[in-house]
Structure 1
Amino acid sequence: MLAELIKSLKKYKHKLYLRSIDTFIEKGNSHLLENFRIILNQPRHNKIYTKVGNDTVLDCTIIFESETGEVSIGDRSFIGASTIICKSKIEFGDEVFVAWGSYFYDHDSHSVDYRERENDIKTQLEDYRAGRNFIENKNWTVVNTKPIKICSNAWIGMNCTILKGVTIGEGAIVGAGSVVTKDVTPWTIVGGNPAKVIKEIPTDLRKS
């Protein structure tokens, strides 16, 4: 009896949460599981940040570092308990699989100039101590950012890191624990840090 009550309360809480983010997401007939979260560090309340197609299942966390970010996810895709961190744009195609524990990061977070990093710490402290979001006044103009694209039929294994500017080609597979710093050719399997081609997927296993 108690277990059923706890389960019902969790479902109710999840429904309330989904209502609270409804103005920031379009999702067709897709499903947002209990771990799904959108975190908006600098929200603009008239903006759709996430667009999701049909028959997709999401259990991930999407973090928008600024008000300019956009994440799009196609049809019939699955993203497990992974983290998508967006400053500019991150795009997933159709029939994409992403396991748990992976990170997609479309920017460097900080400048290579140590003086700008010192300034980041200073402004973070000022914002936090003033009761604001700790990156409200962060200077993004000195941070490199490039969109990420995960093409249709790709499969990203668990605990991978996909960095800024990377395109994962159609049907490509990224092995568990990989760090992807460069584009991945369609219909190849890559792995390692940095990820390199392990082998090509046979022609008869490719989508025509």
Structure 2
Amino acid sequence: MTKDHRPYVVKKAYLKFQKFYARHFLRPQMDHLGPGFTFMRPWHVELFGAPIRLGAYATVIATPDKKVRFSVWPAEAGKGHITIGDYGLICPGVRISSAEGITIADNCMIANGAYITDSDWHGIYNRLSFGKARAVTMERNVWIGDSAIVCKGVTIGENSIVGAGAIVVDSVPANCVVVGNPARVVKNLDPNETFTTRAEFFSDPARLARDFMAWEQAMLRGNTLFGWLRHLLFPTRGD
């Protein structure tokens, strides 16, 4: 489909249903879900275990073929958690699995298909054990690239970027770009530069909501219920 043929009233009802679904089915499974959250296709978000915490203005995007999965399997009593700060972005296919503890600070972005884990999940010799688990920490404004893997015991410093497909097995300093397997620093960022974070995007939530509403209305202007149903049942080239 190259165009959204839904009338605005249908699109608005769909967005309200997504919000209702997240509140009714996902929020009760979390220890904390901050205000201003957005879940796109929340029925494709899978939660297992506790505690799982998401901060304010979290954006979680899931698709039928790329579910988002947050799983806590404690290695021992009192261990294991997933804690994500404010303004986080979780893209389709992201998996986060914790046995010890995974802490992700504010303004972090995790791209399509990334995997973050704090455990091996099996011992080298004892394949029935959980293996060794060591906490993972991502500091503020970290960007994890498409299909990257972040392994146990890693700390990723503030503002740093993990390139697409990288496998991170050692800690990453602040203000750098790492790529490869195993990931290595290929570029240092200027810490004196101003970083524009996702917090800026949400600095005026009321205005942002109005802007999105105006944009949706403009994009869907002229769409009718009959036209939408016709395109659903009898799509033509260019739909």
TM-score by length of 2: 0.64
Q: Does residue 100 of structure 2 align to residue 88 of structure 1?
A: yes
Mapping of residues 64-143 of structure 1, within 5 Å: 64-66=72-74, 68-81=79-92, 82-113=94-125, 116-117=126-127, 120=128, 139-140=129-130, 143=131
Give the equivalent residue in structure 1 for 2:174. 186
Secondary structure at 2:119's aligned position in 1?
Answer: coil
Deviation at 1:19, TM superposition (A): 2.0
Q: Does 1:33 align with 2:40?
A: yes
Q: Deviations over 1:17-54 (max 9, x none)?
A: 652333331111122321552332xx4xxxx5211111
Q: 1-side partners of 2:51 and 2:40: how far apart? A: 18
Alpha-carbon displacement from aligned partner over 1:98-149 (angstroms, at most 9, x marks no partner): 1111000110010111xx22xx3xxxxxxxxxxxxxxxxxx44xx2001111
Structure 1 gap ranges (5+): 121-138
Name the SS for the 2:170 alignment partner: coil
Q: CA deviation at 1:97?
A: 1.2
Q: Please state how far the C-alpha of 1:14 moved relative to its aligned partner.
A: 7.8
Which residue of structure 2 aligns with residue 171 of structure 1? 159
CA RMSD of the aligned region, Å? Answer: 2.8
Q: Which amino acid aligns with 2:26?
A: I
19, 23, 41: which one pairs with 2:24? 19
- Normalising by the residue count of structure 1, what TM-score does the alignment of the two structures yield? 0.73
CA-to-partner distance for each residue in 1:122-181, whole Å, 9 max, x for gaps?
A: xxxxxxxxxxxxxxxxx44xx200111111011111010000010010010111110000
Counterpart contact for 1:171–1:206, Cα < 8 Å: no
1:165 is paired with a residue of what secondary structure? coil
Percent identity, aligned pairs only, is 25
Change (3 A) 1:10 1:201: closer
Shift of 1:204: 3.2
Matched residues in 2 for 1:152 and 1:77: separation? 10
Q: In structure 2, how many angstroms separate the alpha carbons of the residues matched to 1:9 and 1:32? A: 12
Q: CA, structure 1 residues 76+39, in 2 after alignment: closer, same or farther (shift >3 Å)?
A: closer
**Which of 1 and 2 has greater Rg?**
2
